[in-house]
Structure 1
Amino acid sequence: MSPYDAHRPLFDDTRVRPGLLRRRSPLRWGAYPPGVIPLTAAEPDFPGPSVVTEAVLSAVVDGYFPYASPMECGELQEAFSDVAEIRYGIGNHPGRVVPAPGTAAALWGVVRLLCGKGDECILLDPVDLLFGQAVDAAGARRVHCPMDKGTGRLDPDRLASLITSRTALICMCNPHNPLGTVFTEATLRAVAEAAGRHRVPILSDEVWSEIVYPPATHISMASLDTGSSHRVYTVTGLSKTFALPGLRMGFVIAPTLRDADALRLTFQRLGATYSMPPFTQAGALAALRHGWPWRDAFLRHLREVRDYCVDRLNAIPGISCSRPDGTYVLFPDVSRLGMSSRAMGEFLLSRARVAVVPGTPEWFGPAAEGNIRISYATSRAVMEEALHRVAGAVEELVTGGPGALQTTGTAR
Structure 2
Amino acid sequence: MFTQSSIQLEILKKRAYNLRWATLPEGVIPLTAADPDFPSAPEIGEAIARYAREQYFCYTPPEGLPMFKESMAAYFQNKRSIPALPDFILPVDSAAFGIYITCKAFLSGGDEAIIFDPVDFLFRYSVETVGGVAVPFAIPAGVDNVDFSQLEQLITPKTRLICLCNPLNPTGKVFKHTELEQLGKIACKHNLIILSDEIWSDIVFTPHQFTSIASISEEIRNSTITITGFSKSYGLAGLRIGAVMASNVQHYERLMNVSLHRSTIHGANVLSQVAATTALTQCEYWLNDFLIHLQAMRDLCINELNALPGFTCIAAEGCYVAFANISSTGKTSQGMQTLLMDKAKVAVVPGLKEWFGPGAEGYIRLSFATSAEILQEAFSRIKQAVA
Q: TM-score, normalising length from structure 2?
A: 0.97
> What residue in structure 2 maps to residue 198 of structure 1?
190
CA distance in 2, matches of 1:270, 1:363: 33
* Residues 7-406 of structure 1 aligned to structure 2 (within 5 Å): 10-27=1-18, 28-151=20-143, 153-225=145-217, 227-268=219-260, 274-395=266-387
CA distance 1:141–1:274, shift in 2 (3 Å): closer
Q: Secondary structure at the match of 2:233?
A: helix
5+ residue gaps, structure 1: 1-9, 396-412
Distance of 1:142 and 1:162 partners within structure 2: 11
Please give the root-mean-square deviation of Cα atoms over the aligned residues, in Å.
1.5
SS at 2:125's partner residue?
helix
Report the TM-score, using the length of structure 1 for normalisation: 0.91
Structure 1 residues 250, 352: CA separation in 2 closer, same or farther (over 3 Å shift)? Answer: same
Q: Distance in 2 between matches of 1:71 and 1:205?
A: 20
Aligned equivalents of 2:99, 2:283: Cα separation in 1: 24
Question: 8 Å contact 2:47–2:275 — kept in the other structure?
Answer: yes
Conserved? CA contact 2:92–2:268, under 8 Å: yes
Residue 106 of structure 1: how far off its partner (Å) = 0.7
Letter of the 1:25 partner, please give it.
Answer: A
Distance 1:49 1:58 in 2: 15
CA displacement, residues 47-69 of structure 1 (integer Å, 9 cap, x when unaligned): 11111100001111133433444
- Partner Cα distance (2:239, 2:179) in 1: 33
Residues 156 and 72 of structure 1: CA distance in aligned 2, closer, same or farther (over 3 Å): closer
Q: Deviation per CA, 1:85-119, whole angstroms, max 9, x where unpaired?
A: 00001103111111111111111110110112111
Distance 1:271 1:348 in 2: 47
Q: Cα–Cα, structure 1 residues 270 and 149, in superposed 2: closer, same or farther, change >3 Å?
A: farther
Gap runs ≥5 in structure 2: none
Other structure's SS at 2:62 match: coil
Give the Å deviation of 1:276: 2.0
Moved more, 71-80 or 155-164: 71-80
- Call closer, same or farther: CA 1:271–1:130 in 2, change over 3 Å: farther
Deviation of 1:17 after TM superposition, in Å, equals 2.4
Q: Cα 1:350–1:225, aligned 2, differ >3 Å: closer, same or farther?
A: same
Cα distance, 1:278–1:334 mapped onto 2, change above 3 Å: same
Q: State percent identity of aligned pairs.
A: 37
Once the two structures are superposed, what CA deviation does each residue of 1:243-265 show, in whole Å capped at 9, x if it has no partner? 11112111111131221122111
Q: CA deviation at 1:70?
A: 1.2
**What is the alpha-carbon distance in structure 1 between the residues aligned to residue 132 and residue 97 of structure 2?**
17
Q: Distance in 2 between matches of 1:72 and 1:232?
A: 21
Give 3-state SS (helix, strand or coil) of 2:325's partner: coil
- Range moving further from structure 2, 275-284 or 120-129: 275-284
How many aligned residue pairs are there?
A: 386
Which position in structure 2 is the counterpart of 1:3? none
